Chain A
Amino acid sequence: MEKTAKRNSRKNTWSLLMLTLPGLAYLLINNYIPMAGVIIAFKSQNFAKGIFGGEWIGFENFAFLFKTKDAWIMTRNTILYNLAFIVIGTVCAIFLALLMTELTKKVFSKLYQNALILPSVISMVVVSYIAFSFLNSDSGLMNKSILQLFGFPEISWYSEAKYWPLILILVYIWKTAGYSSIVYMASIAGMDKSIYEAAKIDGAGKIRQIKEITIPLLKPTIIIMTLLAVGRIMNSDFGLFYQVPMNSGALYSTTQTIDTFVYRAMMQLNDTGMAAASGLYQSLIGFMLVMVANGIVRKIDSDNSLF
């Protein structure tokens, strides 16, 4: 009896392990081999010497990278854009969620929500087409209609770097606010209604209820979402910074992020070492930030930490 149970459990272990194999194989190829491949950041490029071959050159790629203006510009842009996204994005998402929860007709709120989420499920390429229809110099809506209406001179948007922080933040908010508000809506929906009833009896109006009940109760969610976003502060949406500005060289000072730099180093300059060095620099700082952020989240609410 005992023996058959043991044999069975061993068999079960084997069967379950079999189920994990395809997934594990994919993780190995898609994630773990490239992790090992970061050694190319410390090598000279020499494909004759095998895939990840080449001479060891230590930190030369990094030294070269941090001598360039690009390193500073892409780091600054990546972090500043992300900070702006975190602050403005969170405010917009909460604002949306507060309004959405006030809606009384279920049918309409579903419809509204669908419209608000729609921008987040269309591709960045289509978004770049939309931006183009607003911004292109010859016939864009901005130059032809809006600026003319107010009597401003035309602007050649794709060659003026100074407008892009505003443009990219607007595009980002337009694309993500509806999606981000989902979490806060769920959080508000889960709140105890009796607190609101009590506040009503005490004569607190809607605005006061929001200020003194909803926002304080949302605090944990806000803190956790923010910390997780801080963990991703070195990453950027490649499409937003590459395709929406049309890969325009004149705009690099305000559109270059680490992700777009890695692409350009890799595919346009064919400098694999430099691309790998930038990628590793991004991943290492990202890793440290995720660890710190997760540690703080675990202290606040261990249910919501990554591990």
Chain B
Amino acid sequence: MTELKTRGEKGFAIFAEAVIVLLVLLSIAPILLIFIASITQENSLISNGYSFFPKALSLDAYSYLLGDFKTILRAYGISILVTAAGTLLGVLITAMLAYPISRSDFKYGRIIAFLVLFTMLFSGGIAPAYIMWTRIFHIKNTILALVLPNYLMNAFNVFLMTNYYRNNIPGALIESAQIDGAKELKIFFRIILPLSVPAIATIGIFTGLAYWNDWINGLYYITQPQLFGIQNLLVRMMDNIQFLKSGAAGSALGSGAVQLPSNSVRMALAVIGVLPIVIIFPFMQKYFIKGVVVGAVKG
């Protein structure tokens, strides 16, 4: 349908677009600033400060990081491992828990739904959780500390999945599978899960982002630098730029002779930490937005 546009409407559309473009620039500019700083010559950073239009460019920061690539690679590996493991396991147990809740003929559906809901309303707080994880499960300074606490599953995602099953899986489909003699578990893994790819993609993105961006579990439970993911390496680098130099992060290379370009190296590491998201997120945007809309008020 082609709409007739009055001159006023056209004018308003142009105005809206102009303002949006300005706001888009404001959104991107700060992220761009750390990228530009990472390719600015250290001396230029020191004398002229951070700037969108640096006087001199250089890739020193990146070549410095390359010299310490073991540290970076290890942190990156840990981040990738934790994100992959947490997302896969989290999505699986969330999808498994949500399915029976969505089944109206499941006797315990209501009580289990309440148990999930209650975690949204009340929490014990960090202190008892910290004591439990460290003194009962002894996860301090293990990779499990980065996977298990907080992010594996949450009520919001469970209800998002539950609603998806309710609205998109026809009851007749389950019934006919039952009549054919299929077992419940088989029905779930063979029929329901493959049909739920969009919802799984959505909670997968939420969970994956949470894991990739998490540094708080590391702050509480990790004191050994060898177990730092990229975000915790960034936290430590901010406190102590010498951290890389000292080789404390398990690198064999103490690049003692090289003058450390501390400002630009910091920013280069931040760029490396944020790059995967900037590259991958546009492809996931659709599912992300769907999840936010559906789950805006509740999952």
Contacts and interface: CB of A to CB of B under 8 A. Distances in A.
Contacts of A27: 115-116, 119, 153
Interface residue tally of chain B, by bracket? 35 or more
Interface in B126-171: 126-132, 135-137, 148-150, 152-153, 158
Q: Which of A23, A116, A143, A279 is packed against the most chain B CB atoms within 10 Å? A: A23
A88 B17 CA distance: 22
B262 to A, nearest CB: 11
Given A52-B128, A182-B293, A225-B296, A117 B288 contact: yes
Given A118-B281, A141-B33, A283 B122 contact: yes
A103 B126 contact: no
Given A262-B126, A283-B123, A125 B231 contact: yes
A129 B234 contact: yes
Contacts of B234: 125-126, 129
A30 B126 contact: no
A209 to B, nearest CB: 10
A40 B49 contact: no
A304 B297 contact: yes
Contact of B292 (A36, A179, A228, A305): A179
Interface stretch (A8-16, A69-77, A78-86): A8-16
Q: Which of B132, B136, B149, B214 is packed against the most chain A CB atoms within 10 Å? A: B132
B281 A121 contact: yes
A226 to B, nearest CB: 12
Contacts of B103: 16
Contacts, number: 305
B27 A279 contact: no
B96 A23 contact: yes
Interface in B95-138: 96-101, 103, 105-108, 112, 115-117, 119-132, 135-137
Given A119-B27, A186-B293, A38 B125 contact: yes
A7 interface: no
A194 interface: no
B129 A34 contact: yes
A140 interface: yes
Instruction: Classify the secondary structure of B's interface with A.
Output: helix
A129 B293 contact: no
Given A18-B185, A183-B296, A267-B220, A276 B132 contact: no
A224 interface: yes
Interface in A251-307: 262-263, 265-267, 272, 275-276, 278-280, 282-283, 286-287, 290-291, 304-307
Contacts of A107: none
A144 B54 CA distance: 12
Given A16-B103, A33-B132, A279 B153 contact: no
B148 A30 contact: yes
Contacts of A287: 121-122
A246 interface: yes
B106 A182 contact: no
Interface stretch (B62-70, B195-203, B267-275): B267-275
A280 B131 CA distance: 15
B246 interface: no
Interface in B243-288: 263, 266-267, 270, 273-274, 277-278, 281-282, 285, 288
Contacts of A108: 17
A192 interface: no
B191 interface: no
B144 to A, nearest CB: 12
A172 interface: no
Interface in B22-63: 23-24, 26-28, 30-31, 33-34, 37, 45-46, 48-51
B173 interface: no
Contact of B16 (A102, A265, A280): A102
B124 A118 contact: no
A37 B185 contact: no
A59 to B, nearest CB: 16
